Amino acid sequence: MRRATFKNNWIAAIVVAPQLLIIFVFFYWPTSQAMYWAFTFEQPWGGGNEWAGFENFNRILTDGRYWASIRVSVVYAAGATALSMGMALILAVFADRQLRGYRYYRIGAIWPYAVAAPAVGLAFRFIFNPSAGIMSYINAAYPGFWDPVLNGDHALAMVIIAGAWKQIAYNFIFFLAGLQSIPRSLIEAGAMDGANVLRRMRDIQLPLLAPTFFFVLVINITDSFTDSFGIVDTMTAGGPARATNLMVYKIYVDGFQGLDYSGAAAQSIILMFLVVALTVVQFRYIERRVHYT
C-alpha cells in the first residue's frame, strides 16, 4: 500500500497542531486534573488541598453503594445496547428491503437521534407515568402493575427503554449503510439458489454486516456508560432508592451537588479505566470473529 509522506515534518506538525491542542485542552488537561484531585482532598473553593494517596479510591471501592452503581450501569449498558441494536437491526432490514414508503420511514427512523436526551426523558416520563400517562390505562386494569416511583426494577426498565430508543436511530443509520453496501448480486444469487429471506439474512447479510455490528457495539457500550446522564436526570434522578443511580449520574451527584470533588474525580478515573478496559476486551476478543473485506 502506498503511504502519503511529508518531506517536511514541520508542515505536518502545524497541520495537526490545532487538533492536538483541542484534544489536550478538552481531554488530557481535564483528565490530568481529575487524576490529581483523585489523589488529594480537594476543597471545593480551592482553599488548599492535601495529599490523600489512595484514600479516596479506598473509600469508594469499599462502599456498597458504588458497587451497586456499577451493577446498575452494567445492567443498563447491556440492556440498552441489546435492545437498541436489536430494534435498529430489524428496522434497518425492513428499510433495506425497500418496502413501500421506505424513504419516509428511513427519515423517520433517523430523527430520534436529533432529540436531546432530557427531552427524551421528559417524553418517556409522560409515557410511563403510572397515574397520568399511557401506562395508567394498564394500571387501571391491573392495579399496581407499573410503579416506577417506588419499584426500582420498573424505574430501571423505563430508563433502559428510553436510552435504547434514543440510540436506535444512530444504530439504524449504520446498519442501513452496512446493509446497502452489501453487493446486490450476492443476495440475488442466493435468491436464485432458492434461499428465502431469513436464510439469506443469516448466511449472507449478517456475516457481511459484522464489521458494522462490531463498531456499533463498541460505540453503544461506551455511550451507555458515559452519555446516559440526561435521561436519568429527567426521568428518575437516580431513584427510587438508587435503583437507577448510574455511574455517571453518581459522579454528578457526588461532585456537583455534594461538592465531594475528590471522590467524584476518583470515580471519573475508575469509569474511564472501565470504559477503556471494556473497549480493549471487545477489540481483543470480539474483533477476532469479525472479518473485514
Partner 1 sequence: MKTTFISLAVIAAVIGGAAQAQDKIKFEYWYGLGGYLGDVVTQTCDRFNASQSTYEIVCVGQDGYATAVQNTIAAFRAGKHPTVVQAYDAGTADLMMSGEFYPVQKMMADFNIDIDWSNYFPGIANYYASSKGELISMPFNSSTPVMYYNVDDFAAAGITEVPQTWEAFEEALKALEAAQPEKCNYGYAPSTWVDLEQFSMSHNIPVASKNNGYDGLDAEYVYNTTQHVKYMEDVKRWLDAGLIEIKTSQGGINSRDAFAQNQCSVYFGSIASHATVHASAVEGLNWDVAMLPIYEGFERTNTVVGGASLWVLSGKSEDEYRGAAEYLKFLATPESEEFWSTNTGYIPVTKTGYDALVAKGFYDNAPYKGREVAIKSLTYTDPTPLTRGIRLGGFIQARAEWVAEVEAALAGKKTMQEALNTAVERSNQVLRRFERTYANKTLP
Residue 49 Rama label (left phi>0; alpha psi -120 to 50; beta):
beta
**50 sits near partner 1 (criterion: CB under 8 A):** yes
Sign of CA dihedral 80, 74, 235, 138: positive
Phi, psi dihedrals of residue 50, rounded to the nearest 5°: -130, 145
Per CB under 8 A, which region of 27-35, 176-184, 189-197, 280-288 contacts partner 1? 27-35
Per CB under 8 A, which region of 30-38, 70-78, 274-282, 284-292 contacts partner 1? 30-38
Of 4 and 132, nearer to partner 1 (C-beta) is: 132
**118 sits near partner 1 (criterion: CB under 8 A):** no
Q: How many residues interact with partner 1 (rule CB under 8 A)?
A: 52
Which DSSP string corresponds to 236-282? Answer: TTT-STTTT--HHHHHHIIIIIS--HHHHHHHHHHHHHHHHHHHHHI
Cell numbers describing residue 268? 471519573
> In the window 218-237, what residues touch partner 1 (CB under 8 A)?
235-237
> In the window 122-181, what residues touch partner 1 (CB under 8 A)?
125-126, 129-133, 148-152, 155
Interface residue with partner 1 among 20, 188, 258, 280 (CB under 8 A) is 258
Cα separation of 160 and 243, whole Å? Answer: 12
Cα separation of 31 and 17, whole Å? Answer: 20
Per CB under 8 A, which region of 167-175, 212-220, 264-272, 273-281 contacts partner 1? 264-272
Place of cell 427524551: 120
**262 sits near partner 1 (criterion: CB under 8 A):** yes
Return residues touching partner 1 (CB under 8 A). 25-26, 29-30, 33-34, 41-47, 50, 59, 65, 125-126, 129-133, 148-152, 155, 235-242, 251, 253-265, 268
